[in-house]
Structure 1
Amino acid sequence: MNRTPVNPWSWSLNLGYNQAEIIEGASRQLTCAGQTSVDAEGSPQHLQDMRNQITLALDNLEAVLNAADMGLTNITRLGIYTTDVDEAMKHLDIFGARFGPVQAAPPMTLLGVTRLAMPGLMFEIEATAVD
């Protein structure tokens, strides 16, 4: 698979993502349902703690990717939903700590929502990955 970043402006690179990417030569696509801060039984964790919710949601996303023999470098699109955009923005360094070392900057969208499916959850990540 070959990825070519498309960035007519550089501001998004400072936030850790590309405006777009051209993907060529991919053979499999994985569409991940929204991953949240839940344990292996689906019980919400870290209620009212945005930083730990983001961390666990990313852990859960990586577990799904690993189960498909993929990793963060395979992600071609992220959709992020949060009940508090300002609070989420304070903790997006977690994404840099995960994606930076593997030199991945997938296009992403961050949306504020009224609530998520489970009460107490504040952060959810959808992903598309290819290899």
Structure 2
Amino acid sequence: MEKKIINPWTWQDARSYVQSVEVKHVESTLYVSGQTAIDEHGISSDEHMRVQLQKTLENLEKVIREADFELKNIVRLNIYTTDSAALFENFDLFQEWINRNQIKQTSTVLEVQQLFENLKVELEATVVK
């Protein structure tokens, strides 16, 4: 087995996790840690759901592209939110992103009581190559 860790930033090191792990055998699979609306300095957003969802999608894209995978090859995308109603009010943003990138993924949407530092949405992905 061959593993490659991909971290486009350094702030996650203090939080004891990596942004993604690529595991190779015959094919390659990328497991992406939950991405949220955290900036490149590790500062969490306190904006409303739409802004947080946009930043979360941007961060997910950054990690996947940094690992040299394609968005269209996301096969699993889990969505965690503290407010399902607000998420679905802004779901057009998510659906437009899915359609634009030709993603055909399996998904689970879970409402949770709390996310890190009061964030509102988190996306966790598995990508194949």
TM-score normalised to the size of structure 2?
A: 0.76
User: Pairwise CA RMSD of aligned residues?
Assistant: 1.2
Higher relative contact order (CA 8 A, sep 6+): 1
Divergent runs of 4+, >3 A: none
SS in 2 for 1:118: helix
1:79-94 alignment runs, 5 A limit: 79-94=78-93
Identical-pair percentage: 38
Aligned-partner Cα distance in 2 for 1:122–1:79:
14
Q: Which residue matches 2:33? A: 33
**How far is 1:117 from its partner?**
1.7
Q: Normalized per residue, which structure has more helix?
A: 2
Q: Which residue matches 1:73? A: 72
Q: Which residue matches 1:18? A: none
Aligned-partner Cα distance in 2 for 1:34–1:103:
21
SS in 1 for 2:116: coil
1:46-65 alignment runs, 5 A limit: 47-65=46-64
Q: Which residue matches 2:4? A: none
Contact 1:48 1:122 (8 Å CA) reproduced:
no
Gaps of 5+ in 1: 1-25
Q: Residue type of the partner of 1:51? A: R
